[in-house]
Amino acid sequence: RYCYERNLAVNPQGGNTGLVGGSVPVFDEIILSTVLMNRIISFDNVSGILVCQAGCILEKLNESLEEQGFIMPLDLGAKGSCHIGGNVATNAGGLRLLRYGSLRGTVLGLEVVLADGSALDCLASLRKDNTGYDLKQLFIGSEGTLGVITAVSILCPQKPKAVNLAFLGCLSFSKVLETFTTCRAMLGEILSAYEFMDEKCMELVEGHLNLSSPVADSPFYVLIETSGSNSTHDEEKLNNFLEQAMTSGLVTDGTVATDDKKIKASHRFLFLRERITEALTHDGYVYKYDISLPVGKLYDLVTDMRAWLGRSAKNVVGYGHLGDGNLHLNITAESYSHSLLDAIEPFVYEWTARYNGSISAEHGLGFKKKQFIQYSKPSEAVFLMQRFKAMLDPKGILNPYKTLPSSS
């Protein structure tokens, strides 16, 4: 309210772990940090509904829930420092989306402070509520441009009693896709994650972080996680799937984390996947792209980008949440190059638009990608977004210069 009355711009900031500059001030905005808003308000262990303040760290929430037999419905590499309010504001995806869906489905209610300082209390704790417009959806994924999320009501699943992981090698991306189809058919309701990475990712992880692959050299690697309530049942299903995948030639090599090896091996498998980002930073300057595409076209962007850039890039790698059609395309160079950026953009966005993909699958648009929104959204939709912004933030003080393109 103070800032609204004085026309002072405000930059809401949580854990500051975003990758598109959404939580970083551009000029002289006042940073409004949620770091002290870290209280769990309530948890109902019958319904699994958690109500907490926006500044709660994701990993801390998960640890608190695990003590009561539940988990958070999302899991990110940045879980040790990201805030749940920021997760909701950016509609963060992550490793568990395949199983539990997006935050648009698991968030039941929000408390939001609007630009003029008034508080909007839509902190419902109901799974079903069809009374009028679903206002919370406006703020999920709005990146702090329409209001500041201060509290969240979220539906949390029970902690699975049995978790198994498999790390597999595939000879081609088509085999990765076939393995996914077989995996979904044979594992069904216990499949909770299906991640892939290419051999370049593994080379960087091994070379820069001194980690070793649990399977022999392979053009592609797949990480599969199952979560269920009966370890015997789940292990039998997983072993049947692996037998089918190996005998049919879909998978060339693989290893499974079960029983006494489970904890150590599971951490090692996930560790490899989660530390790709860190390994990339050791390779030089990184150009990062977070793309959604039809699953069959997912890796074509990586091969086309390699051919397009040739020797001007050091490495072009692809990994991500294949089960959700989400590719993380990363390009490294010795140092930042404006000419290389011009070669990548808008090529990467034009390619994505050609196949009806999204230029931001789970990271938002922030400051870096806002001018490219038209590659994923029609002009009518952008105009409507701008009208929402003008209505809720008439003075334009909330996270300015983010998400929506600058008016021409």
Give pLDDT, residue 268.
64
Q: Which of 102, 88, 90 is nearest to 152 (CA)?
A: 88
Ramachandran class of 401: left when φ > 0, alpha when ψ lies in -120 to 50, beta otherwise: left
Give pLDDT, residue 95.
84
Percent of the chain surpassing pLDDT 70: 97
Q: Is the pLDDT score of 185 beyond 60? A: yes
| Sequence-ordered strand ranges (E) for 48-128 | 49-53, 107-113, 119-122
Give pLDDT, residue 262.
55
* Ranges for all domains in the chain classified under CATH 3.30.465.10: 1-155
Per-residue confidence at 273, pLDDT binned at 50, 70, 90?
confident
Q: Is the pLDDT score of 408 beyond 60? A: no
Give pLDDT, residue 124.
86
Task: Find the length of the chain.
Answer: 408
Does pTM surpass 0.75? yes
Which residues does residue 10 pair with via DSSP β-bridges, in sequence order? 30, 398
* Ranges for all domains in the chain classified under CATH 3.30.70.2190: 162-278
Q: Which of 178, 210, 183, 215 is nearest to 199 (CA)?
A: 215
What average pLDDT does the chain have? 93
Percent of the chain surpassing pLDDT 90: 82
Q: Which fold has domain 284-364?
A: Alpha-Beta Plaits (3.30.70)
Question: Which of 32-41, 53-62, 120-129, 153-162 is predicted least confidently?
Answer: 120-129
CATH architecture of the domain 1-155 equals: 2-Layer Sandwich (3.30)
| 291-312 tens-digit pLDDT | 999 999 999 999 999 999 999 9
* Ranges for all domains in the chain classified under CATH 3.30.70.2740: 284-364
As a whole number of Å, the end-to-end CA separation of the chain is 29
Give pLDDT, residue 345.
95
**147 secondary structure, DSSP code:** -
Give pLDDT, residue 265.
55
Q: Which fold has domain 162-278?
A: Alpha-Beta Plaits (3.30.70)
